[in-house]
Amino acid sequence: MPNTTAHRLASFAGKLLGGSLPVGLRTWDGTRAGPADAPTVVLRNRRALRRLLFAPGELGLARAYVTGDLDVEGDLADGFRRIWALTRTGELTRVKPGPREWAAAAGLAVRLGVAGLPPKPPAEEARLSGKLHSLLRDRSAIAHHYDLGNAFYQLLLDESMAYSCAYFTSGSSSLEQAQHDKLELICRKLGLRPGMRLLDIGCGWGSLLVHAAKHHGVEAVGITLSAEQLQHVRGRLAQHDLADRVEVRRQDYRELPDAPFDAVASIEMGEHVGELNYPAYAATLHRMVKPGGRVLLQQMSRGNVAPGGGAFIERYIAPDMTMRPVGRTIGHLETAGLEVRDVHALREHYVWTVRAWADTLEENWADVVALIGETGARVWRLYLVGGALAFEENRMGVDQILAVRPDRHGGSGLPATREWS
């Protein structure tokens, strides 16, 4: 094997990963190693290698990529697939060098002129303080992601501003139609009728509030921790002449008063609650719905081996996020007194949803960079490409869970068949 910088690094990386490097590698001196027909990882400078040396695995790779110290030529998704297939788990954080590997890495770093102080992490990383899942820390965690700016999300999302898994039916010809079909499915599962009161916990940019009020005649309350979302929703309500029937508040679920609703929805908000707080969250769902009323959760899941979102997601996208197997979530809901009546897996639909967002990001790349900067845009590229693959390869899931608060006789008020099918 040639004794070039690229070949020496490829050989060392292969030993850590337990096989030949599945992608090409080109270093700052122009040398290349690895398969010619694979995507090529480009280390543009020695700082890229220092990032990997001081944060081995997923976090170091992410820091190097979002800063532009590391790039990928070719299909980024294909490169991810090859790495995850080699490690079998898809978790690069599981590559944990021992003392011998650390000594070899240090020696190689010295020979390549890479040794030095650890590079400063990118400014885009979350830096939260305070007690985990306290009211103040949760508000900061939500602001980190959702207060990026309404203009950015309007560029990325469809007109409904639904930032959650869509539902692609045989009639869904676009993401916009699929999001409409998802919102309609939720309303049908909740059995919404004119005059009913709906609570949306974690209402986002108001997609469900507006749809339920316009198409099903409900009165609704939505809560969010995001100041940007609050501003946007209030503008939408005025635009659609719904301000007299829909209220939106900047409020935590733990601050909700005792005012039971006919139906409660919480769409991809439970991931932000935390494992220790989830029983209180489930109890809130039970408390806020009337006896006989329905609760609909749409929530992402992950296996026991990876309860969080991974180092990249937790630092850059959704700090303090917690995901669990769907069965454990069902257990929390049942313990709170809710009867789970239906679980609808939508994993494949999230693949199609995220790919549509990724396509939109690339189509509007120059505008995205103008709004959030080159580093921010690269964060989102990495997030969307990696997210689509996580759902595609069944490392993450998403489900709609329909539950009911039984009345005093134990009745659910639900039909014996799936009326929404």
Q: 125-174 pLDDT, tens per residue?
A: 999 899 989 999 999 998 988 888 999 999 999 999 999 999 999 877 79
Domain residue limits, the chain: 5-111, 135-404
> Cα–Cα distance between 5 and 3 in angstroms, integer?
7
Which tens digit of pLDDT belongs to each residue from 344-403? 999 999 999 999 999 999 999 999 999 999 999 999 999 999 999 889 988 899 999 999
Instruction: For residue 83, give the nearest of 408, 399, 395, 334 by alpha carbon.
Output: 395
- Report pTM: 0.92
φ/ψ of residue 260, rounded to 5: -55, 145
Could you tell me what percent of the chain has a pLDDT over 90?
A: 68
Residue 61 has pLDDT above 50, yes or no: yes
Class of domain 135-404: alpha beta
φ/ψ of residue 296, rounded to 5: -125, 120
Helix (H) or strand (E) holding 389: helix 365-392
> What pLDDT is attached to residue 206?
98
Give the confidence band of 1 by pLDDT, cuts at 50, 70, 90: low
- When pLDDT is averaged across residues 253-282 and rounded to a whole number, the result is 94
